[in-house]
Amino acid sequence: MRPRDAKHSVKIGVLALQGAIDPHIEKLQSLGVEPVRVRTPDQLARVSGIILPGGESTAMIHLLKVNRLWNPLKAFVQTKPAWGVCAGVILLAKEVSHPKQESLDALDISVTRNAYGRQNESFVDNVQPTDKWMDKNPVEGVFIRAPKIDRIGPGVKTLLTHRNDAVFVEQGNLLAATFHPELTTNASLHKYFVEKCLSEK
């Protein structure tokens, strides 16, 4: 049995260069975890896992390079827990289209950017658990200019779906959600990531 205060010993980063940062910080704090806003390689080196939040993927790539974080982050996500949310999914994916874009080349999926429409076509709907998810209850999904997962590699598990499309997937140390769980009251996905980070300590 893991000690009750184990969560307090783990530090989880949130990439804090651009995008929806504060809601993830608040979710982690609500789970008793110390969040770290990651803007430098030194800050990245201090965390057990990292959340790559929603935002604008092209801007994130530019800022990662300006801050000399691109190569350290690319190495980090190969072995340590990382969770891409919306734009973060695009960063993690092996293949990106509409238009094509470089990525961290870590998660064996192909994604199409903004496949669910523009900002004014954002929507909220339930996403459904597969038999690989820990809970059988639907989860609220907030979709904002979301990417769509078009291809899933053989080592990738689908945890949640929306209208038969994979929207939350896992491959080893990596998670990816095309929607925004940080904008809902449900903390189950963040809890799942925290447990993944704890298991890697």
- Pick the catalytic residue: 162, 180, 190, 197? 180
Looking from the CA of 183 toward its CB, the CA atoms found within 13 Å total: 19
C-alpha span between 119 and 102 (Å, rounded): 23
Based on the residue annotation, tell me whether 86 is a catalytic residue of this protein: yes
- Pick the catalytic residue: 24, 86, 190, 197? 86
- Pick the catalytic residue: 24, 162, 170, 182? 182
Based on the residue annotation, tell me whether 180 is a catalytic residue of this protein: yes
Is residue 20 within 8 Å of residue 182, measured between CB atoms? yes
- What value, to the nearest 5°, has the Cα angle with vertex 36 and ends 15 and 90? 20
Based on the residue annotation, tell me whether 182 is a catalytic residue of this protein: yes
Instruction: Write out the DSSP string of 28-68.
Output: HHHTT-EEEEE-SHHHHHT-SEEEE-SS-HHHHHHHHHHTT
Residues that are catalytic: 86, 180, 182
